[in-house]
Amino acid sequence: MIEVCVFDMDGLLVESESRWRQAETEVAASVGLALSRADLEATMGMRMREVAQRWFERQPWTGPGTDEVADRVVDRVIELTEGAVPLPGVLDTLDLCADRELRLAVCSSSDVRLIDATLERLGIAGRFEVVHSAEDDPHGKPHPEPYLRTAARLGVSARACVAFEDSVSGAISARAASMRVVAVPDPDADRARFGFCDLVLASLRDFTASHLTALGAPGR
The confidence score (pLDDT) of residue 220 equals 66
Residues 99 and 208 in one domain: yes
Domains in the chain: how many in total? Answer: 2
The confidence score (pLDDT) of residue 186 equals 87
How far apart, in whole angstroms, are the C-alpha atoms of residue 166 and residue 12? 6
Residues 92 and 166 in one domain: yes
The confidence score (pLDDT) of residue 46 equals 86
Domain range for 118:
4-14+85-215
Query: pLDDT in tens for each of the 220 residues of the chain?
Result: 999 999 999 999 999 888 989 999 999 999 999 999 899 988 887 889 999 999 999 999 999 999 999 999 999 999 999 989 999 999 999 999 999 999 999 999 999 999 999 999 999 999 999 999 999 999 999 999 999 999 999 999 999 999 999 999 999 999 999 999 999 998 888 899 999 999 999 999 999 999 999 999 987 6
Point out the domain boundary residue: 31, 57, 80. 80
Q: Which helix (H) or strand (E) holds 2?
A: none
Residue 87 is given by DSSP the state P
Residues 141 and 204 in one domain: yes
The catalytic residue among 10, 39, 111, 166 is: 10
Residues 173 and 93 in one domain: yes
Domain with 136 in it: what CATH number? 3.40.50.1000
Is 8 designated active site? yes
Point out the domain boundary residue: 53, 80, 107. 80
For 70-160, where are the E strands, in sequence order?
103-108, 130-133
Residues 99 and 189 in one domain: yes
The confidence score (pLDDT) of residue 17 equals 84
Residues 27 and 93 in one domain: no
Q: Answer yes or no: is 166 within a domain.
A: yes
CB atoms within 10 A of CB 178: 15
Residues 29 and 106 in one domain: no
Long-range pairs of 28-32 with CB within 8 A, sequence gap ≥ 24: 28/55, 30/72, 31/55, 31/61, 31/63, 31/64, 31/69, 32/59, 32/61
The catalytic residue among 8, 39, 71, 166 is: 8
Point out the domain boundary residue: 48, 80, 112. 80
Residues 9 and 21 in one domain: no
Residues 124 and 38 in one domain: no
Residues 22 and 9 in one domain: no
Residues 57 and 143 in one domain: no
Domain with 51 in it: what CATH number? 1.10.150.240
